[in-house]
Chain A
């Protein structure tokens, strides 16, 4: 008799130095099911999926495919069993074209020469069929994260995988892209493919999943049918307490202007036009100003310009009345700017440094942590211990854990802890809660509001409109490198913001071009 389950992971235990990442976890995936995996940051979701994909070997437990026990020693084994995975942090070769990335590892050759025509046809057919728009000849380094993810999905489809693992696919996507992805996943399901799906966004689980397995601190908490549960129940099951999903805050009391941006023009790395085209705004003490917009409308470059990662062409930036338009990054930092960057692996962390080394990345030169150039190891440790405690940064070995081995959400928490604790005058936060669990989001939102209530200026960039509406005191909508509208969140709606973000409306009187 054929088993009901395509994949069964039974009593899986996987240990890392100092931590049991998976402790006797059982997960059963039905054929043609969309199965969500939910758990706090560091609960062991990615680890469990990596075990299934053959990246890690479990110390205990068995894996069954169609009721028969199988050994998955490496991703090639997984591939042979039809298991594919889209990783939390993509694994693409940056300087290869999209097509080359998709066929990498399973290339057709003839007399030792690559045969790409057939592959190209197959990729284009798949792309057509599932609505996965990609440009096969573009270099991966030049395409948006959204497209990178579509490339990862095509990689799985190209290998004819039947069991698809998505590790936090929506964390890096825009709301529009998320809707598209949900559609695509439903399509897979209707075709009889089985899907494992990790996310921290409960609404997504409610929208597409059939069942959900919940993990907490490496342990199995249970599996529930989505039709018979609610978001509140799920979050309680995962965190162990009730979580408030909206932050409440006092009305803001604004003070002096902290950041002033005037007529800023910043070049683009991907196209010849300027990414930011004459942007002006102020951020005052005691307010959270949010820059909203669809990804790729210049928000990234605007922040790069303000924080000094990119040179500006013209215009100026003043911080507390001082012109910092061309100031080096360190000077901005010492003048009271903190920056939670968009890309935690590229900018936010030195992945091969330990957690404690990363926690002092912005402060190691302060006299509290060094004396005549010699680092005070004891002070660093004390400081790290405090931040780890306060921000609940979970890892295998505490301060000496290598950042690379930490779970994505905990890496993010480390960055936030470091930047907030620096006591900045201006906190620039880009997607600060990307990849965090609901409990952590609640905490970080509280922290951001606390900063604001303490008279700090906060400049927030977020693609998530819920977060934007929830946190900000003022919303600036960016479209094609310009600010097309300014809103009070209490007097606007998500729908209205959406119109401005899509470029259908703008406030400066000019009628937007219909498109």
Chain B
């Protein structure tokens, strides 16, 4: 009994357990979906999804490679969350970051690390707008950042289309719908592999980007948990009026946190496109990577260290999902991935349940859930507010 109690009081343990249980439930649902879509191949499918990431060093290298930009987008969303901002603009910042890195690499022939700094700065600039509009005019950051996602994407396409030197066609390839391959344009802009490729059976994917991302995650954690700056940011996120009372300049912090969030997403774009394996394709759609940062952050409860693991997990099932391709259409694997991520995000709900079970059917989280319910109610209300006013007028 006392052992049980100790465990149930260990918040960390409960959080991790809740995430794991949610993920398992997500996988079970995914399997049921596979059964519906293609019963004869369901077993193979789920097997592919669950094992591909570990099936070969090459595939594992891919998991690590893809996790880096995911991690940064997740950190970006999570960082903004902590300040009470919903950064749905990660994808726009990511796109601008990718663009800056590629211009640095291809047009200006700069080395990889300078390109990364450029992507960092580019994302930061894109993060300023929603932050500034919120701080100065109290414009909801969600609206601004969605608009800036589209502005960012079309702006980048427009600029690239008008910078012939950036396109593959200028570097000996035939296609002009994508940027040049870095191996042709400027091998020096490719993020070094640091010998990891040898370790990973000559994987073409792996490079040091995942380590860069992990270091950034640790820095984010340090800033949020250990510094006065992080203390202020979180205070603003939790209680804006209260932090104003404490003399904290909330507007300054809103802008700063969006700049940092933007910089993180931007760096993610740089890490992804400077690997040398991917070219930026000029398409009329926003990139999914930034949006995937949202579940990454949610799954980790916005904790930067948790983000390391949640991004690895999502990257893992994405790699697994692509291995299901021959038997399942890419759309259906996308659906399954979405279902798994969606259910994994139930971790919070799972927490309450686990505590309840551990305490032998009695819940002590009721108050917390109740609170959460109140908060949601409040949020919903504030959205309805305008309608209400109109109705009354």
Contact = CB atoms under 8 A, between A and B. Distances in A.
A182 B180 CA distance: 80
A96 B382 CA distance: 9
Contacts of B226: 374-375, 377
Contacts of B384: 95
Shortest Cβ-Cβ A-B pairs, 4 listed = A330-B247, A347-B245, A329-B247, A352-B238
Contacts of A56: 364, 366-367
Interface stretch (A190-198, A360-368, A455-463): A360-368
Interface string A395-427: 000000000110000000000000000000000
A309 B247 contact: no
Contacts of A365: 228
A346 interface: yes
B39 interface: no
21 contacts: A50-B367, A55-B366, A56-B364, A56-B367, A57-B362, A59-B359, A74-B366, A91-B374, A93-B378, A94-B378, A95-B381, A95-B382, A95-B384, A95-B385, A96-B381, A329-B244, A329-B245, A348-B242, A350-B243, A364-B231, A377-B226
A349 B242 CA distance: 6
Interface string A376-410: 01000000000000000000000000001100000
A379 to B, nearest CB: 13
A339 B229 contact: no
Contacts of A309: 244-245
A328 interface: yes
A350 B236 CA distance: 9
B377 interface: yes
Contacts of B377: 93
Nearest to B392: A137
A357 interface: yes
Nearest to A341: B245
B228 A364 contact: yes
A331 B367 CA distance: 38
A509 interface: no
Nearest to A57: B362
Interface of A, secondary structure class, is loop
Contacts of B12: none
A17 interface: yes
Contact of A57 (B239, B248, B366): B366
B175 interface: no
Interface in A247-295: none
Given A95-B385, A357-B231, A375-B228, A16 B245 contact: no
A361 B246 contact: yes
B334 interface: no
B9 interface: yes
Interface of B: 9, 226-229, 231, 234-235, 238-239, 241-249, 359, 362-364, 366-367, 370-371, 374, 377-378, 381-382, 384-385, 388, 392
A88 interface: no
A93 B385 CA distance: 11
Contacts of A137: 392
Interface of A: 15-17, 50, 55-59, 74, 91, 93-97, 137, 309, 328-333, 339, 341, 346-353, 357, 361-362, 364-365, 370, 373-375, 377, 404-405
B364 A16 contact: yes
A373 B245 CA distance: 20
Given A57-B363, A350-B239, 14 more contacts: A55-B367, A56-B367, A57-B362, A58-B362, A95-B385, A309-B245, A329-B244, A347-B242, A351-B238, A353-B234, A357-B231, A362-B246, A370-B228, A377-B226
B238 A346 contact: no
Contacts of A351: 238-239, 242
B261 to A, nearest CB: 19
Contacts of B9: 17
Contact of B388 (A55, A95, A341): A95
Contacts of A405: 367
Nearest to B239: A350
A6 B63 CA distance: 64
A404 B248 CA distance: 21
A348 B371 CA distance: 19
A339 B382 contact: no
Contact of A373 (B228, B234, B359, B381): B228
A472 B283 CA distance: 73
Contacts of B378: 93-94
Nearest to A95: B385
A74 to B, nearest CB: 8
Given A16-B364, A56-B367, A94-B378, A339 B231 contact: no
Contacts of A352: 238-239
Contacts of B385: 95
Nearest to B245: A347
A97 B387 CA distance: 13
A332 B388 CA distance: 40
Contact of B238 (A353, A370, A377): A353
A339 B245 contact: yes
B245 A348 contact: yes
Contacts of B231: 357, 364, 375
Nearest to A362: B246
B185 to A, nearest CB: 41
Contacts of B227: 370, 373-375
B336 to A, nearest CB: 35
Contacts of A50: 367
B194 to A, nearest CB: 30
A352 to B, nearest CB: 4
Contacts of A350: 235, 238-239, 242-243
A386 to B, nearest CB: 20
Contacts of A15: 364
B309 to A, nearest CB: 23
